Amino acid sequence: MPVTNFANLPALAQHLRRELEQKKFILLYAYNGTGKTRLSVAFKDLGKSGDARDTLYFNAFTEDLFHWDNDLQNDRERVLKINQDSRFFAGLGELEMDNRIRPLLSRYADFDFRIDTTEWEVSFSREVEINGTRTVVDNIKISRGEKNIFIWCFFLAIMEFVAAIIRCTSRWT
């Protein structure tokens, strides 16, 4: 396959948009620091039309929509805060995301979670065995890797939901 050079990231993003007119999807892989996040932003910007967007993407900005509140004062209630100002979470309460995320997450992790859409936070728990008795430990701090897996499964659940809507819509048009 011939190598193509592009003047800048917007030119590459425009090229990828043209390619998607012929293809269902494009998978990009690149090493850290090569500009994947900047490319996804340029691609997204080309898809803006007023208030409408045509791009759903996972990158460093997606991960930054979540951050820890470690309850440093009381050291008891550790929660992952959700950025409620992001349109990414529009309709979160009505979509029953817990039930959409849980089957995906259970493939990779052994902890459970609860999404509180009033406080915009996620709390985690894990079932453990203590002296032969199984018990649930609430408000645990999951590892950075587990947090990344949770966020990835959150994103996958949204992708599955969007794909289901597209399938239903395409059947009726």
Tokens for 57?
């993407």
Give me the DSSP letters along 44-105.
HHHT-BTTB------SHHHHTTEEEE--TTTS---EEEE-TT-GGGTTTTTTTHHHHHHHHH
Of the candidates 105, 103, 64, the one whose C-alpha atom is nearest the C-alpha of residue 86 is 64
pLDDT digits (tens, 9 = 90+) for 99-135: 999 999 999 999 999 999 999 999 999 999 989 999 9
> Domain containing 114: what range?
67-172
0.95 exceeded by pTM: no
Condensed to tens digits (0 to 9), the pLDDT of residues 126-151 reads 999 989 999 999 999 999 999 999 99
- Higher-confidence residue of 13 and 1: namely 13
- Which residues lie across from 137 on neighbouring strands? 126
Token pair listed for 148? 């990344």
What confidence tier does 28 reach under pLDDT thresholds 50, 70, 90? Answer: confident
Please give the Cα distance from 119 to 92 (Å, whole number): 12
**Same domain, yes or no: 74 and 22:** no
141-144 long-range contacts, CB within 8 A, separation 24+: 141/68, 141/70, 141/78, 142/109, 142/111
Residues 75 and 101 reside in one and the same domain = yes
Question: What number is the average pLDDT over the span 46-62?
Answer: 82
Residues 82 and 157 in one domain: yes
First vs last C-alpha separation in the chain? 37
Please check whether residue 121 lies inside any domain of the structure.
Answer: yes
- How many residues make up the chain in this entry? 173
The number of domains in the chain is 2
61 is a domain residue: no
Does any domain span residue 46? yes
Q: Is residue 36 part of a domain?
A: yes
